Amino acid sequence: MRASVNPFAACLLLTAVLLAGCAGRLERLPPPNLPESERILVFADGLHSGVVVAMSPVLADLDPQPEGPPAALPYLEVGFAADEWIAASEPGSGTKLRMAFGTSGGVLDLCHRAELARPPRSADIPLRTWIIPLSAEGRRRLDTCIRSWGNFEAPQMLRPPARPTTFRFANRRWSIFHNCHDFTVEVLRAAGLELEVLSIYDNDRLAKQMDEAVRQMAEGGITVVGPPP
């Protein structure tokens, strides 16, 4: 006898996994002496994904740092999240139900970093990272795509009092069909990394695509990612 699957329960389970948390090609170029500004880190920790990049003039006004000491941190972590989930210190069943079957306003999840790295969320949550070298044009397009997600007409920032990150309202809405992994894939595709567009992304699907992209780069002798010349 075939076991029946409760679609309501399955949707809630998928939402919990997602919440608890532009295209080009690869260039085959000789190994470059890449400046640090053109190497990016992609991360996925099971609950969230995004990129860590060196600050650039294009991204400077996403989250301006205070002037004066301490010195401004040179890297910026960027991801995409649901504003309703961020605003709730302990999201209840009502919030989870609304987000399972509806949408929420989106925010860019921003955190300044001292180095090209992303610390684990906790010892219990495994962190996957990939370093991707970009051409100068690939980095320019990545920055432009990241900035295009920001809503600069809304109030500048949403600053949670107990979080080390800040949030800029986005011009995209969050749903289980359009979550942090979709943001990560879109900005990487803008830079020239060949990733497949899927209807629903989760951490495992993103990690498999990143592993495959890195494998193809190694096997094909591809040393830098960028759009066609």
Domain containing 126 equals 7-220
Q: Is residue 75 part of a domain?
A: yes
Q: How far apart are CA 160 and CA 165, in angstroms?
A: 8
* Residue owning tokens 């951490």: 203
pLDDT in tens, 83-93: 876 665 555 56
Lowest mean pLDDT segment, chosen from 10-14, 63-67, 115-119: 10-14
Which residue type sits at 104? S
**Structural domain count, the chain:** 1
Q: Is residue 229 part of a domain?
A: no
Predicted confidence at residue 91, as pLDDT, reads 55
Q: What is the pTM of this model?
A: 0.78
Predicted confidence at residue 62, as pLDDT, reads 87
Q: Is residue 13 part of a domain?
A: yes
Say if residue 148's pLDDT is above 80: yes
Instruction: Determine which helix (DSSP H) or strand (DSSP E) holds 191, and give its type and residue range.
Output: helix 180-191
DSSP label at residue 200: S
pLDDT in tens, 120-131: 887 888 899 999
